[in-house]
Amino acid sequence: MITLGDYLIVSGILFAIGFAGVMLRRNLIIILMSLELMLNAANLSLVAFSRFRVDSSGLPNYNVQVFVFFIITVAAAEVAVGLAIFVALYRARQTTDVKNISSLKF
Amino acid sequence: MSPFLFWVFALLTLIFGAAVVINRNPVASALSLVVSFLGLAALFISLNAYFIGIIQVLVYAGAVMVLFLFIIMLLDLRAEEGRQINWLASAGGLVVALILFGQIYSVVRHFTIARKAFPPLPGSTIDDVRNIGAALFGNYNLPFQIVGVLVLVATIGVVLLSTREPR
């Protein structure tokens, strides 16, 4: 039998993997991918809570699913803006390694 | 959903999620991320969130991943594959991530309602898209319009960022 806790544990492991990616990797694009993993881990636990909290008619809580929809929309916009910034940065510095991008102004 | 299928898709999501971080080649990382998102979409569908699962496949596995692959190939990022690893820094980052997971695990373990199964739904099929649409255009109409403006601003920002300034 699958319980709410199982989904929360899977979500927690996925969040920790994304966090490790942000801590360990030095390539900006991989860091952005790890951020997406963390956002999706949060979405998984939100949807699990939505299915767990049924309302009086027995349906899942759709307010939470609307919230997940907004998170997906904003994350897609964030990826587009982030990648455009990386392209502009690559034109100026020919690198996407965070070790070479340590000054605010150049 | 049967427990067997749940564990198959959960392991798929987690193994390929770890492959995103471990792979040295950015293209392999991006393709692992596609598989991880597909497993996650299956988990959403197992929770009867059909709309969210389909959106996950369309937006993440479709649009966002094409963007990532396009940028990786545009920038030609193969040059940094041969760099050596700083083992001390890697171990430090891994320890911090493990501590974070340990905290999440201890919270979930002491959370008594998390041990209960999911309550049954009234019928075998539910009007998922209709209910989300009613909530989105009824209660959440103003946030929905604001998100539309946000996407417009992001589009204009991306166009401005990616045009070369005249010298």
pLDDT band at B82 (very low <50, low <70, confident <90, very high): low
Asked if pLDDT for residue B8 goes beyond 90, the answer is yes
Chain B, window 40-99: residues with a beta carbon less than 8 angstroms from a chain A beta carbon? 40, 43-44, 47-49, 51-52, 55-56, 59-60, 63-64, 67-68, 71-72, 74-75, 77, 80, 89-90, 92-94, 96-98
> With an 8 Å Cβ cutoff, are A24 and B21 in contact?
yes
A4 to A17, A49, B28, B134: CA distances (angstroms): 20, 8, 32, 26
Task: List chain A domain ranges.
Answer: 4-100
State the CATH architecture for A4-100: Orthogonal Bundle (1.10)
Substitution target from A23, A26, A95, A100 for chain B, most B beta carbons within 10 A? A23
CA B69-B71-B75 angle, 5° bins = 120
Total CB pairs under 8 A between chain A and B = 229
Task: List chain B domain ranges.
Answer: 3-118, 128-167
Phi/psi at B115 (5° precision) = -90, -5
Task: Find how far residue B29's CA is from the centre of its chain.
Answer: 14
pLDDT band at B122 (very low <50, low <70, confident <90, very high): confident
d(CA A68, CA B15): 24
Give the per-residue pLDDT at A100: 80
Tell me what the mean pLDDT of segment B78-101 comes to.
80
**Confidence (pTM):** 0.91
What CATH number has the domain spanning B3-118? Answer: 1.20.120.1200
User: Which segments in chain A show pLDDT lower than 50?
Assistant: none
> With an 8 Å Cβ cutoff, are A2 and B117 in contact?
yes
